[in-house]
Amino acid sequence: MSLIVQKYGGTSVADVQCIKNVAQRIKSTRDQGHSVIVVVSARSGVTNELIARAKALHSKPDEREMDMLLSVGEQETIALVSIALHALGVPAVSRTGAQAGITTDVCHTRARIKDISGGDLREQIAKGNVIIVAGFQGLSESGQITTLGRGGSDLTAIALAGALKADACQIFTDVDGVYTADPRIVPNARKIHEIAYEEMLELASSGSKVMQSRSVEFAQKFNIPFEVRSSFNQQPGTIVKEEVTMLEGLLVTGVALDRNQSKITLSELPDQPGTAAKVFQALSDANVVVDMIVQNIGRKGLANITFTVSRDDVDRAELAVRKAFADKNQPDFVTATDIAKLSVVGVGMRSQPGAAAKLFEALAKSSINVNLIGTSEIKISVAIDPDKADQAVRVVHDAFDLGK
């Protein structure tokens, strides 16, 4: 008998009818002879309602109290899912994060898991019970309720699967799995059967928001394979794991697009040691994550630095740079332009050359100009005109022969 950890997100447990459907799925899994541990999120909308109430009381509510507040969302769901299982004749018990022995540090609203004892979960499994665990939450060593931040329920599921040496970990969500490109843009995009952790990570950081990077990093660190699949159909999804069988010898696994990027250019900076450091230290201090960076020497020995940030961070980034140069040598101008970032990702790039050439050729053929280029071992990203982004994804997807 194998142990399966399943995670259902907020849209999967949004209301009574959804909860009934989830209970039916859990029952099916159990009827196949598996032991099942289920991790659930808050019903969709609940967390936002709670946040709205807190914000109506205080513009910057205390983080410890926010954890106390937000953890109720999942606690509601675990009880309701257990009750729904009872109605189907399935023995089930709910457990809060604390009861499941999930110990975290004390960083409220973004706590990190330090240990998972599993509480009495093994005992409950032995009794034949399905266990419904509240995702997203834990207990600090000082006995305070903590939450794990965005994507926390995925993390709970993956960490529990690791701690309890589960045979499978299934992340049920509102997408079918990971695709070679966004199917809304590329009609012949293909579902990827297996993908490596690091490819998944690069896709996540490139705008393909199937899951938060953090959960994938955790899975990679402890080598916990998991499957991303839909809670609205019975299709197999995408398995994310360490080693991927590369039957096809694919150079590129997928194409991702992030429309939420801006390019900031600082012109006429003194070309002297420390200028770039000063810029990026200021950005780091302001908690702005910088993606691609290019530096050129312009006229009069002055430097231009161009970098990309999330569009939400543009104002903060500009302010930080202006402050850093407030005393002297203010850069002549700071300009921000919205751009799209297209990335091709694949572990195949590591062993096979030619991905960059193929990418640039495809874009050039369609007269799509490349603004900036960034690379990692298994990824090439280009900043392009947002108006041409969809077209770019389609031609690149075709060029790498990723379609059905």
- For residue 123, give every residue at least 6 positions away whose Cβ sits within 8 Å of its Cβ, in sequence order, or none: none
Q: Find the binding residues for a copy of itself in span 85-104 (CB under 8 A).
A: 86-87, 93-94, 96, 99
| 96 versus 238: smaller Cβ distance to a copy of itself | 96
Closest to 145 (Cα-Cα) out of 50, 220, 71: 71
| 94 versus 381: smaller Cβ distance to a copy of itself | 94
| Sequential DSSP letters for 80-109 | HHHHHHHHTT--EEEE-TTTTTEEE-S-TT
Q: Minimum distance from CB of 5 to a copy of itself (Å)?
A: 20
- 364 belongs to the binding site for a copy of itself (CB under 8 A): no
For the chain, the farthest-separated pair of C-alpha atoms sits apart, in whole angstroms, at 79
- 75 belongs to the binding site for a copy of itself (CB under 8 A): yes
- 297 belongs to the binding site for a copy of itself (CB under 8 A): no
- 58 belongs to the binding site for a copy of itself (CB under 8 A): yes
Tell me how crowded residue 343 is: count the other CB atoms within 10 A of its CB. 25
Residue 210 DSSP one-character state: T
- For residue 210, give every residue at least 6 positions away whose Cβ sits within 8 Å of its Cβ, in sequence order, or none: 173, 175, 177, 178, 200, 203, 204, 228
Residue 201 DSSP one-character state: H
Of 13-21, 157-165, 196-204, 245-253, the window that binds a copy of itself (rule: CB under 8 A) is 13-21
To 10 degrees, the CA torsion angle through 51, 56, 58, 60? 40
- 21 belongs to the binding site for a copy of itself (CB under 8 A): no
41, 82, 180, 306: residue in contact with a copy of itself (rule CB under 8 A): 82
Q: Directed axis angle between helix 314-324 and helix 275-285, to 10°?
A: 130
- 363 belongs to the binding site for a copy of itself (CB under 8 A): no
| 117 versus 296: smaller Cβ distance to a copy of itself | 117
- For residue 364, give every residue at least 6 positions away whose Cβ sits within 8 Å of its Cβ, in sequence order, or none: none
Interatomic CA distance for residues 249 and 246, integer angstroms: 5
11, 44, 76, 122: residue in contact with a copy of itself (rule CB under 8 A): 76
For tokens 């019903």, the residue is 43
- 40 belongs to the binding site for a copy of itself (CB under 8 A): no
Interatomic CA distance for residues 268 and 303, integer angstroms: 5
Q: Minimum distance from CB of 98 to a copy of itself (Å)?
A: 9
Of 50-58, 150-158, 184-192, 376-384, the window that binds a copy of itself (rule: CB under 8 A) is 50-58
| 147 versus 206: smaller Cβ distance to a copy of itself | 147
| 57 versus 357: smaller Cβ distance to a copy of itself | 57
- 56 belongs to the binding site for a copy of itself (CB under 8 A): yes
| 21 versus 265: smaller Cβ distance to a copy of itself | 21
- 143 belongs to the binding site for a copy of itself (CB under 8 A): yes
Interatomic CA distance for residues 341 and 347, integer angstroms: 19
- 126 belongs to the binding site for a copy of itself (CB under 8 A): no
- 51 belongs to the binding site for a copy of itself (CB under 8 A): no
Q: How many residues does the chain have?
A: 404
Strand partners, 113: 104
- 345 belongs to the binding site for a copy of itself (CB under 8 A): no
- Per CB under 8 A, residues contacting a copy of itself are 16, 19-20, 23, 50, 53-54, 56-58, 61-62, 64-66, 68-69, 71-72, 75-76, 78-80, 82-84, 86-87, 93-94, 96, 99, 143, 145
